[in-house]
Structure 1
């Protein structure tokens, strides 16, 4: 099994945090989004992962590429880097990794996390991960027949068709078949809105009689902007804490400090006259002093003093001293 992860987008809705770090490497509960994503996929498919192909922009740099390779290797897989230099749609992005599209593959967009308990149907030609939603008009949805097979894909339906939203994770029994269909789109300039769309390839596969089935997830967590990323961090902390995971490092130094679970607190964090939690992630090396902080996400080596924070997101090596409550500041920012 191979996993292909298109992640070349700029993450503009999550700025300023994505000005210095690609969105899929933003940590959620102490671990990069893309790392959690591929771990969860590996748990669902329950097969050996031979390769993880990351599709990025060249501007991401050598350090990002190194971190991605390490993520793959931690799962016992080969890590491969491909580049998409122009944002020409989902099908175009996937085809940047066409050399890796052999055998069974999973395609997963790296701005989504999920919780699921289903067995992958490897007899199907394709499995599309879906989540039941209250307002399907905001999503692409799938329509099922009586045999629980997908018979249609509808983008943002204006009338009720289905409430099963596509979350952006797909299994294909044959990577070669998907590659052939997407190559057809590129060769024949089949575009919508100036972009090559994966759903057009899926539609062609369905017309040819390939079997599509849904894989229903219990939880679907977005990381599209600051507010939903902070919310996703809180939800993930709750899941991990309920699973019995200890997310507070033994190296944390406390002085007149209270930790209200669930929280992730990294290595060598100092808490002085502070109340931390619930639903807070503090990266390695942070210093929190004379502060109350809850429902917030802080990356590595940042200093927070004299603050009362809620729904805050702070990058790495930032310094914050003040009375603002809901903030979003990026790496190396100083507010004192």
Structure 2
């Protein structure tokens, strides 16, 4: 089994945080988004992963540190890491085809901008499984249309009339991903574009037209990381899940508390110092950060940052920040100073 992860986008909706760190590498509950996504996919697959192929953008942005992080991720899962580049933002189908040498055998394709919680078995009778989430407002999403055998027969974008309540979340399984590669190559050769881009859906629709069987795999939770507010909400939800699971240590043994209280669930990284402060619930604090004389809740604070005299709620603060003040709902990028 292979995993293909297109992640070349700049994450403009998450600025200023994505100005210095690619969005898939921004930590949520103590781990980068793409790390959590890939690990959760591996848990669902329940089988060895031989290769993880990452499709990155410009090397000036997705540099050596990003590549090293992804290689370490793959190695930790017993897989080979393959690195590809998408030099132009030409759509989901184009991004997949940038990893053409890896498009053979069974594979999962996952776009690295969401997190999931799921527990299901892949349908071995299907040529493909499209992962979905039941939603209350399907008119706001791309959804699948099912026949009487619960096979997917159509993909419908933001339907005006009810089609189904199963929204497509951007994760796909292919029994033989080479079939999708063949269809997408024809899309490229014929210059078939939607919205000025080459789309994975056009390849999938051609597979359906040839009678390939598509089924759904429904996830329990689907969490977005598109902008500041949604990322903070995802951090809160993920911390609650991790606390309930009890499988990850959320407070580092090297964290130092001086007249301070942690209200769980929280993630507190290595060498964090909390002094005269109350932190939590639903706070993630990255390595080597200091929080002093402050109250922080429902917030995400990255590494090497110092917070003093603050009352923060629903704040997202980057790396290497110095903040001293009385603001509340803030969004501060890396290397900022507010004193």
TM-score by length of 1: 0.99
SS in 2 for 1:297: strand
Match of 2:175 among 173, 179, 182: 173
Alignment of 1:96 with 2:98, yes or no, is yes
Following superposition, the deviation at residue 63 of structure 1 comes to 1.2
Alignment of 1:55 with 2:62, yes or no, is no
State the Cα deviation string for residues 58-77 of structure 1 (Å, max 9, x = none). 23111111111111111111
Following superposition, the deviation at residue 258 of structure 1 comes to 0.5
Following superposition, the deviation at residue 147 of structure 1 comes to 1.4
Alignment of 1:252 with 2:255, yes or no, is yes
Q: 5 Å matches for 1:233-312?
A: 233-244=235-246, 245-312=248-315
Following superposition, the deviation at residue 2 of structure 1 comes to 0.5
Q: What runs of 5+ residues in structure 1 fail to find an aligned partner?
A: none
Q: Which residue of structure 2 aligns with residue 210 of structure 1?
A: 212
Alignment of 1:7 with 2:10, yes or no, is no
Q: How many residues align?
A: 336
State the Cα deviation string for residues 236-261 of structure 1 (Å, max 9, x = none). 00000011243001111111101000
CA distance in 1, matches of 2:94, 2:102: 14
Q: What runs of 5+ residues in structure 2 fail to find an aligned partner?
A: none
**Which stretch has the larger CA shift, 246-255 or 163-172?**
246-255
Following superposition, the deviation at residue 19 of structure 1 comes to 0.6
CA distance in 1, matches of 2:222, 2:136: 13
State the Cα deviation string for residues 169-211 of structure 1 (Å, max 9, x = none). 0000001101001001000011111111111111110010000
CA distance in 2, matches of 1:85, 1:18: 18
Q: Which residue of structure 2 aligns with residue 196 of structure 1?
A: 198
Following superposition, the deviation at residue 144 of structure 1 comes to 1.2
CA distance in 2, matches of 1:286, 1:75: 29
Alignment of 1:66 with 2:63, yes or no, is no
SS in 1 for 2:260: strand
Q: Please list every run of at least 4 consecutive aligned residues from structure 1 whose deviation after the TM superposition is greater than 4 angstroms.
A: none
SS in 1 for 2:215: strand
State the Cα deviation string for residues 259-278 of structure 1 (Å, max 9, x = none). 00000001010000000000
C-alpha RMSD of the superposition? 0.8
CA distance in 2, matches of 1:317, 1:193: 39
SS in 2 for 1:63: helix
CA distance in 1, matches of 2:300, 2:148: 44
